[in-house]
Amino acid sequence: MATLSSAPKVQYRSLIARTVRMINHAGVMHASGHVAGRDPDDPNVMWINSRKAGRSTLTAEDIVPVNLRTGERIGEGDEAPSEVHIHRAVFNARPDVQAICHTHPDYIVALSIAGKTLHPVHPVGGFLPESTPIFDDANLINTPARGELIAQALGKAPVLVLRGHGVVVTASSIEEVLMRTISCEDNARFQYIASAIGEPKIICGEELVIAARDIMKPVVVRKHFQYHEENAERAGALSGLD
């Protein structure tokens, strides 16, 4: 049974709360999105923003632990979100993944409703595969069985689009999942706008290899995180966090 090796992990929980607020401030979180991180000391535990916590006002206290083996919320307090099954199944299927964001961004969802595959069309989307996999079902992922279907559809990809619903973004750190989530939606917006004018040109082959290498550099990930942190800070979106 998974246990908490060094509760309460205030700093790590605060980073997740900060990240939720920053993604929300960037317009990509909406009311029901979530960010989950694998416990740095216990790979069988994840931390996720609670179901009821407001995405613009949450704090470290609203980031709750879940046992990845049983799916149960560890300890007392607010429950995990109804779509916690996405995170549990993906963390269990992908030991390489340390952070996951599930959210419902406008352009990614609009492209999926129109039957368009999400492609890398701008270097900010350089971490995407040439064709992003899609889960062809618009309903909530609110059971363990549906969580398993998401993990299967994702496979080894970094991102899964959920048709008419949202996106699942995986990463190797909390900072990286913020960069990927916001950049994924930026890329989708470029693809959407380009589609209104003509046929979008997809970044592929060697060009995509170079784009992926450049966008995934730690210094670039850090720069994106800092940019969004400063924007959120200046707008007062991080007040009362710590």
Q: Which stretch binds Zn ion (CB under 5 A): 51-59, 82-90, 147-155, 185-193?
A: 82-90
Q: Which stretch binds Zn ion (CB under 5 A): 64-72, 83-91, 131-139, 144-152?
A: 83-91
| Rounded Cα–Cα distance for residues 87 and 166 (Å) | 14
Least distance in angstroms from the C-beta of 165 to Zn ion: 6
Residues 6+ positions from 227 with CB-CB distance below 8 Å: none
Least distance in angstroms from the C-beta of 223 to Zn ion: 29
Q: Which stretch binds Zn ion (CB under 5 A): 54-62, 78-86, 197-205, 217-225?
A: 78-86
Instruction: State the greatest distance between any 2 C-alpha atoms of the chain, in Å, as a whole number.
Output: 55
C-alpha dist (Å) from residue 172 to 4, 80, 151:
21, 22, 16
| Rounded Cα–Cα distance for residues 126 and 212 (Å) | 4
Least distance in angstroms from the C-beta of 235 to Zn ion: 25
Is 166 a binder of Zn ion (CB under 5 A)?
Answer: yes
Q: Which stretch binds Zn ion (CB under 5 A): 81-89, 149-157, 183-191, 192-200?
A: 81-89
Least distance in angstroms from the C-beta of 192 to Zn ion: 20
Q: Both ends of the chain: CA-CA distance in Å?
A: 31
Is 158 a binder of Zn ion (CB under 5 A)?
Answer: no
| Rounded Cα–Cα distance for residues 235 and 170 (Å) | 27
Least distance in angstroms from the C-beta of 167 to Zn ion: 9
Is 81 a binder of Zn ion (CB under 5 A)?
Answer: no
| 71 touches 79 (CB < 8 A) | no
Write out the residues near Zn ion by the rule CB under 5 A.
83, 166
